[in-house]
């Protein structure tokens, strides 16, 4: 598996780098990693289905015990098959869909990387690795959705998707870390085997669920998914069927059995899932753009999936995993069909398409489209029916409040699904009577993935036990930790579920026949804002809040900043020191008499600094304070410090002078300026606090074990006699390296700021008139400038 992941990375990167050269060869190349994924899945399938998960571990930072742990159980196997299988279909399809140019090659490369990230996600065993791949899919989907980056709509949709899924990802990270800490393990398997309880774990779980619902486009975070329709159709097909949105469902399947006995779990899952299923369906039935119709259909189906996989009892989980497979197959096919129609007819509008004639050569595609839509609607003999039948039975058998709410909700949702499936399918079975509007039929290679996937949908619907029964059993068994016997079948006899199915189909047809009046009636009760608008409002609110906070905190007053910084850094610790340090053990400062003279000198210089009227004079007197400090260092026997202090003081004066040239020569009259007393107060507090701090520090013995050790080991270990220097370059060399890196950044920052400050302002000032003396391009102006200077 590690090799397969590396292969995805290598092929994806190669295609991206060589995109302009590869052109039409990108698509075949992009198919190879998917084939590798399928081969890998086939090689481990028999073991995994027998109940032995496949495991691998790869250490990437040995010293820190960081390993990439992978495991594949039944659920992982299903996900690998879907990701790689659908990925293969998409790669083949892309070869015909895109014109052979660099952009298409880039898309193919990104899709390969995306498939790799998705495979990593579904095989990750380490919590952090799972998160890493999770965010990787978010970022790659951002690139894929924003593929037409010159189009503002595409950029907006991509950003929308990224902001929602990546912030959901952050919530997921926080939640997983909390859960992992509570459980005391980073292994997902161990965490779920012994789930932590308590308040902290509850908060963590809530965050994880937030991550799941954003990724899986549940209400109220669904809007990015329909927005993502701006992506090229192969991308949409992949994101909507086997990957991206399924990542959330995958995690829901994993988590649900461990946490579904919590009180809040089932109501939350039911509410979110059913609202999503019904609201998505309501949006879908009124769409004219058939791609958008499918997108809202996906939202609806994701709600359905979230209910089934999240609710946490065995039958529903079986139904959920079955639907996971069925949905991947039919939704991918439907998107591919839309892509073919769009590619050939250059429209996705239902009304325009009804006017066009899909003539000879379109037969197989039309049949596939109708059959696959029927699978989505849950018509018997197709895979979708098996899944829906299982779901009905699960909730009917479960009973209780959860069972009743669940069954009512999913039947309502399924009626809507039936209606929008018909709306979609009608495009393909109705014939236009116009003869002049023939649409060129697609090539066989273009439509081949559609045929294959439709074939799978039919076979899985006819003999489900043989095709997906074992897979579903091993997946559910692995997740729930119980033996599940295969019950998937086309015919269970006449029971409640079958009757409900018949009713659903009938009600769906009825709803479809009366779509127009229904849409008119429900249009009035539709919410006034849609999801994207809500997202925008949220974003604007965030910006407003940021501006509000910034204007309050960042007033632009330098004295205020300095006062706040000094009070926090000096006065705070000093207050703490007064409370905790035993000051009676102070050493006598008069032991070294010359210190008193130096102290007096420093105090006088400090006082003088506040009284000097000229800025330059103040700087010089302030320098005297520094030189006095250097004297104290010498007296205390620290020549290194004294040297440094002297040099720093000298340089500081020069630097001050450089800056002071830009300021008036004299200070303003201090006493009259507002806030003068406040500044005096701050200065006094900070001065006294600093003194208290220094005294507090000198109470403790001057040496500690660490400093003794440094003195002791300096010569034998580092061959140096200057302990200070040995500490800097040997013992704590890495720290010093970090510090000089900070110096470099600071230097670049200072220079940049200084230069920005000197540049003529860009806004708020009239554009330069002709012959402006500031204009470097105008030789006459420069000369006059020079004359002025001379």
Partner 1 sequence: MNRSVIVDVTARLILPTALMFSVHLLLSGHDRPGGGFVGGLVAGAAIAAIYVAGGMPDVRSVVPIRPWTILGGGLVLASAVAVVPVLIGNPVLDKWSFKLALPLLGEFKLSSALVFDVGVALVVIGLVFMVFEAFGDEEPPEFRGDVPDPHDIDESIEITDKDATR
The binding site for partner 1 (CB under 8 A) comprises 639-640, 643-644, 647-648, 650-651, 654-655, 658-659, 661-662, 718-722, 724-726, 728-730, 733-734, 736-737, 740-741, 743-744, 746-748, 750-751, 753-755, 758-760, 773-774, 776, 782, 785-786, 789-790
CA-based end-to-end distance of the chain: 76
Kindly state the DSSP code that residue 494 receives in the 8-state scheme: S
Kindly state the DSSP code that residue 414 receives in the 8-state scheme: H
Q: CA 735, 739, 744, 748: dihedral to nearest 10 degrees?
A: 140
Q: For the CB of residue 721, give the shortest distance to partner 1 in the complex, in Å.
A: 4
Q: For the CB of residue 771, give the shortest distance to partner 1 in the complex, in Å.
A: 14
Q: Which is nearer to partner 1, 571 or 619 (CB)?
A: 619
Q: Which is nearer to partner 1, 582 or 779 (CB)?
A: 779
Q: For the CB of residue 632, give the shortest distance to partner 1 in the complex, in Å.
A: 16
Q: For the CB of residue 217, give the shortest distance to partner 1 in the complex, in Å.
A: 45
Q: For the CB of residue 752, give the shortest distance to partner 1 in the complex, in Å.
A: 8
Q: Which is nearer to partner 1, 597 or 648 (CB)?
A: 648
Please tell me whether residue 776 adopts helix, strand or coil conformation.
coil
Q: 245 near 303, Cβ under 8 Å?
A: no
The radius of gyration computed from the CA coordinates of the chain, to the nearest angstrom, equals: 35
What whole-number distance in Å separates Cα of residue 429 and Cα of residue 186? Answer: 53
Q: Which is nearer to partner 1, 6 or 743 (CB)?
A: 743
- Those residues whose C-beta lies under 8 Å from the C-beta of residue 266, and which sit 6 or more positions away, are 260, 311, 312, 402
Q: For the CB of residue 739, give the shortest distance to partner 1 in the complex, in Å.
A: 9
Q: For the CB of residue 14, give the shortest distance to partner 1 in the complex, in Å.
A: 27
What whole-number distance in Å separates Cα of residue 375 and Cα of residue 457? Answer: 7
Q: Which of 116, 285, 141 is nearest to 227 (CA)?
A: 141
Q: For the CB of residue 748, give the shortest distance to partner 1 in the complex, in Å.
A: 8
Report how far Cα 190 is from the mean position of its chain's Cα atoms: 25
Peptide bond into 484 cis (omega under 30): no
Q: Which is nearer to partner 1, 719 or 770 (CB)?
A: 719
Q: Which is nearer to partner 1, 510 or 744 (CB)?
A: 744
Q: For the CB of residue 747, give the shortest distance to partner 1 in the complex, in Å.
A: 5
Q: CA 71, 77, 81, 87: dihedral to nearest 10 degrees?
A: -30
What whole-number distance in Å separates Cα of residue 41 and Cα of residue 1? Answer: 9
Q: Which is nearer to partner 1, 13 or 748 (CB)?
A: 748
DSSP-based helix, strand, coil % in the chain, nearest 5: 75, 5, 20
Paired with 357 in beta bridges are 438
Q: For the CB of residue 697, give the shortest distance to partner 1 in the complex, in Å.
A: 23
Q: 635 vs 442, 639, 646, 647, 695, CA distance in Å?
A: 92, 9, 14, 18, 17
Please tell me whether residue 387 adopts helix, strand or coil conformation.
helix
Question: In sequence order, what E strands does 177-285 have?
Answer: none
- Those residues whose C-beta lies under 8 Å from the C-beta of residue 19, and which sit 6 or more positions away, are 26, 102, 103, 105, 106, 109
Phi, psi of 56, rounded to the nearest 5 degrees: -155, 155
Q: Is 653 exposed, middle or buried (0-12, 13-18, 19+ CB in 10 A)?
A: middle
Q: For the CB of residue 709, give the shortest distance to partner 1 in the complex, in Å.
A: 17
Q: 217 near 141, Cβ under 8 Å?
A: no
Q: Which is nearer to partner 1, 697 or 748 (CB)?
A: 748
Q: Which is nearer to partner 1, 99 or 654 (CB)?
A: 654
Q: For the CB of residue 154, give the shortest distance to partner 1 in the complex, in Å.
A: 37
What whole-number distance in Å separates Cα of residue 388 and Cα of residue 409? Answer: 13
Q: Which is nearer to partner 1, 661 or 673 (CB)?
A: 661
Which residue stretches of 18-73 are H helix?
A: 19-22, 26-49
Q: Which is nearer to partner 1, 3 or 665 (CB)?
A: 665
Q: For the CB of residue 565, give the shortest distance to partner 1 in the complex, in Å.
A: 21
Q: Which is nearer to partner 1, 506 or 647 (CB)?
A: 647
Kindly state the DSSP code that residue 62 receives in the 8-state scheme: G
Q: 438 near 82, Cβ under 8 Å?
A: no
Q: For the CB of residue 754, give the shortest distance to partner 1 in the complex, in Å.
A: 4
Q: Which is nearer to partner 1, 295 or 619 (CB)?
A: 619
What whole-number distance in Å separates Cα of residue 337 and Cα of residue 482? Answer: 40
DSSP track, 83-140:
HHHHHHHHHHHHHHHS-SSHHHHHHHHHHHHHHHHHHHHHHB-BHHHHHHHHHHHHHH
Q: Which is nearer to partner 1, 10 or 709 (CB)?
A: 709
Q: Which is nearer to partner 1, 684 or 753 (CB)?
A: 753
Count how many residues are written for the chain: 790
Q: For the CB of residue 297, give the shortest distance to partner 1 in the complex, in Å.
A: 54
């Amino acid at each position: 598996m590690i090799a397969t992941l590396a292969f995805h990375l290598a092929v994806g990167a190669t295609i991206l780098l060589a995109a302009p050269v590869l052109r039409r060869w990108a698509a075949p190349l992009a198919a190879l990693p998917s084939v590798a994924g399928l081969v890998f899945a086939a090689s481990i399938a028999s073991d995994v289905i027998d109940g032995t998960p496949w495991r691998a571990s790869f250490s990437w930072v040995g010293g820190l015990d960081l390993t990439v742990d992978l495991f594949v159980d039944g659920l992982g196997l299903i996900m690998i098959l879907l990701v790689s299988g659908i990925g293969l279909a998409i790669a083949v399809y892309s070869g015909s869909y895109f014109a052979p140019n660099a952009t298409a090659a880039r898309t193919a490369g990104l899709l390969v990387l995306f498939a790799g990230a998705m495979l990593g996600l579904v095989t990750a065993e380490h919590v952090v690795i799972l998160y890493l791949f999770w965010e990787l899919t978010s970022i790659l989907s951002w690139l894929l959705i924003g593929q037409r980056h010159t189009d503002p709509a595409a950029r907006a949709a991509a950003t929308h998707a990224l902001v929602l899924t990546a912030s959901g990802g952050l919530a997921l990270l926080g939640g997983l870390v909390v859960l992992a800490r509570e459980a005391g393990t980073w292994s997902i398997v161990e965490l779920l085997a012994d789930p932590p309880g308590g308040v902290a774990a509850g908060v963590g779980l809530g965050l994880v669920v937030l991550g799941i619902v954003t990724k899986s486009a549940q209400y109220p975070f669904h809007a990015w998914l329909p927005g993502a329709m701006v992506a090229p159709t192969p991308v949409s097909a992949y994101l909507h069927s086997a990957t991206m949105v399924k990542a959330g469902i995958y995690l829901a399947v994993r988590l649900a059995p461990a946490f579904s006995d919590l009180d809040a779990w089932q109501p939350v899952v039911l509410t979110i899932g059913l609202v999503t299923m019904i609201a998505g369906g309501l949006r879908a039935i009124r769409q004219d753009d058939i791609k958008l119709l499918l997108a809202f259909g996906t939202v609806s189906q994701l709600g359905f999936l979230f209910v089934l996989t999240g609710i946490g009892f065995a039958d529903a989980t079986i139904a959920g995993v079955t639907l996971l497979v069925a949905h991947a197959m039919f939704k991918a096919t439907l998107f591919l069909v839309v892509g073919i129609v769009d590619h050939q007819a250059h429209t996705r509008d239902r009304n325009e398409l009804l006017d066009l004639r899909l003539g000879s050569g379109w037969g197989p595609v039309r049949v596939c489209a109708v059959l696959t839509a029927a699978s989505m609607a849950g018509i018997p003999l197709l895979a979708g029916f098996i899944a829906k039948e299982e779901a009905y039975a699960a909730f009917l058998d479960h009973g209780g409040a959860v069972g009743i709410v669940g069954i009512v909700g999913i039947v309502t949702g399924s009626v809507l699904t039936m209606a929008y499936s018909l709306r979609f399918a009608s495009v393909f079975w109705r014939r236009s009577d116009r003869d002049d509007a023939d649409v060129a039929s697609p090539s066989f290679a273009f439509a081949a993935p559609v045929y294959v996937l439709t074939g799978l949908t039919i076979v899985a619907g006819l003999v489900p036990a043989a095709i997906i029964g074992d897979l579903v059993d091993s997946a559910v068994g692995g997740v729930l930790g119980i033996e599940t016997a295969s019950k998937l079948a086309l015919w269970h006899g006449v029971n409640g579920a079958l009757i409900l199915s018949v009713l659903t189909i009938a009600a769906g047809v009825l709803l479809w026949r009366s779509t127009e009046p229904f849409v008119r009636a429900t249009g009035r009760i539709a919410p006034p804002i849609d999801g994207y608008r809500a997202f925008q409002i949220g974003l604007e609110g965030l910006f407003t809040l940021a501006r509000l906070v910034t204007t309050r905190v960042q007033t632009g007053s330098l004295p205020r900043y300095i006062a706040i910084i000094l009070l926090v850094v000096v006065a705070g610790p000093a207050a703490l020191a007064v409370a905790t340090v035993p000051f009676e053990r102070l050493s006598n400062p008069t032991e070294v008499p010359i210190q008193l003279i130096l102290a007096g000198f420093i105090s006088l210089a400090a006082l003088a600094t506040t009284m000097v009227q000229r800025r330059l004079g103040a700087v010089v007197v302030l320098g005297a304070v520094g030189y006095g400090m250097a004297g104290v260092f010498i007296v205390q026997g620290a020549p290194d410090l004294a040297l440094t202090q002297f040099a720093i003081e000298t340089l500081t004066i020069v630097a001050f002078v450089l800056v002071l040239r830009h300021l008036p020569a004299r200070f303003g009259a201090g006493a009259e300026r507002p806030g003068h007393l406040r500044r005096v107060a701050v200065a006094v507090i900070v001065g006294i606090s600093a003194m208290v701090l220094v005294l507090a520090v000198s109470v403790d013995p001057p040496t500690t074990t660490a400093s003794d050790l440094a003195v002791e080991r300096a010569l034998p270990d580092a061959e140096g006699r200057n302990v200070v220097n040995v500490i800097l370059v040997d013992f704590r060399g890495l720290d010093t390296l970090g510090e000089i890196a900070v110096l470099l950044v600071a230097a670049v920052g200072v220079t940049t700021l200084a230069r920005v400050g000197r540049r003529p302002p860009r806004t708020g000032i009239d554009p330069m008139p002709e012959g402006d003396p500031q204009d470097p391009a105008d030789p006459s102006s420069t000369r006059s400038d020079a004359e002025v200077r001379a």
